[in-house]
Amino acid sequence: MTPPRAPKVFTGTHGPEEGAGTGTPWPDDVPPDQDDTWYPLREDPWRARRMEYVIACFWGITALCGVGLMVFYWNGGQTQVEGALMAGALGSLGAGMVLWARYLLPGHDVTASRGHHVSDPRDRAAVVESLSRGTDAMMSRRGFLVKKVLVPVGGIFGLALIWPLASLGPRPGRALYHTKWYPYARLVTEDGRAIRVDDIMVDGILTVFPEGYIDDASSAAVVLNIGDRQIQARQGQGGFEVVSGADGIVCFSKICTHAGCAVSLFNVISMQLICPCHQSTFNILQDCKPVFGPASRPLPQLPLGVRADGYLVALSDFVEPVGPGFWNRSGD
């Protein structure tokens, strides 16, 4: 009968206050001897090489899907096809990684209790050395996968992921602060008809654009005749309205300061403009100050003037940015 093997013990020099001291038995559920160069296919080089080719095929699919993604995107794009290509690329990349880790990377699966032990510095150094040997072995023995397959595939697929950034359009620069309104631009309707002072009756409202830019949505504005009512102008913006006889003509941006919807409803009784998207309500006589809903800023007002022939013109662009707030605009 074979006598039982003596239990392995720790031989470190650390004291009891650091964990287990000298003579503490080695945990029974931790293998005492492990070969950190072992991997599942080490004893079968032919199968290991074949597994490399299988992994290379998966990553090749990733590269092909990346090229296909760029081609479809360049030719106008098709959401369903692009989604399928993206799924194929990521799935193949992941499958290759799983096979590589499962069959070609060194190491053992060990499940054990940690206990209350603190590793000796020499043991920690040995673990680091072991990990380094495993990494070096991976890079040296698997040069075909790393250098000839993974690196170029990663470059192609990475380029394919960057490609859709073109959809974001050009950098806005200062465009978010300005519209197409310019000094002495005539106010025109969406069909290009220029507006005179007497074209707008009392309590009337029209949607207008700067002449030559009727397709620019950010420049849309509403011009109103408030009659003999008095408007409370914001500080520094007095005189933006045009007074003709007993009538007063005012013009405000049509872009809601909450989410950018078109402020298209007019309550003539309360003299309020209303955004139909989220019911933000602006009091015209209080210089379009929001009195209800989620909008927090008044609608910007357009400075108006009248030419000698009676046409309404803008004296400048809006003096403040139109539309909803964004991250670097003061006051939002």
Give the separation between CA 246 and CA 229, rounded to whole angstroms: 9
Is 37 in the same domain as 137?
yes
Q: Is residue 92 part of a domain?
A: yes
| 283-326 confidence digits (pLDDT tens) | 999 989 999 999 989 999 999 999 999 999 999 999 888 988 76
Q: What is the pLDDT of residue 59?
A: 85
CB atoms within 10 A of CB 69: 26
Is 96 in the same domain as 162?
yes
Q: Is residue 87 part of a domain?
A: yes
Q: Is residue 155 part of a domain?
A: yes
Percent of the chain whose predicted confidence (pLDDT) is above 70: 71
Three-class SS state of 275: coil
Q: Is residue 192 part of a domain?
A: yes
Give the separation between CA 142 and CA 208, rounded to whole angstroms: 68
Q: What is the pLDDT of residue 5?
A: 45
Please determine, for residue 330, whether its predicted confidence score (pLDDT) is greater than 60.
Answer: no
**End of a domain among 134, 168, 202?**
168
| 202-231 confidence digits (pLDDT tens) | 999 999 999 999 999 999 999 999 998 888
| 71-91 confidence digits (pLDDT tens) | 888 787 778 888 888 899 889
Q: What is the pLDDT of residue 63?
A: 86
Is 91 in the same domain as 201?
no
Is 58 in the same domain as 144?
yes
Q: Is residue 21 part of a domain?
A: no
Please determine, for residue 120, whether its predicted confidence score (pLDDT) is greater than 90.
Answer: no
Query: Which sign, positive or negative, has the C-alpha torsion 56, 58, 59, 61?
Result: positive
Is 131 in the same domain as 196?
no
Is 286 in the same domain as 229?
yes
Is 146 in the same domain as 41?
yes
Q: What is the pLDDT of residue 125?
A: 76
Most confident of 29-43, 121-135, 313-327: 313-327
Q: Is residue 329 part of a domain?
A: no
Domain that holds residue 129: 33-109+120-168
| 231-266 confidence digits (pLDDT tens) | 887 776 777 878 776 678 999 999 999 999 999 899
What are the CA-CA distances from residue 49 to residues 44, 98, 100, 137, 141 (Å)?
Answer: 9, 16, 11, 15, 10
Is 142 in the same domain as 239?
no
Question: Residue 169: pLDDT band by 50, 70, 90 thresholds?
Answer: low
Domain with residue 254: its CATH number is 2.102.10.10
Q: What is the pLDDT of residue 311?
A: 94
Number of domains in the chain: 2
Q: Is residue 185 part of a domain?
A: yes
Q: Is residue 125 part of a domain?
A: yes
Mean of the per-residue pLDDT values for the chain? 79
Is 157 in the same domain as 43?
yes
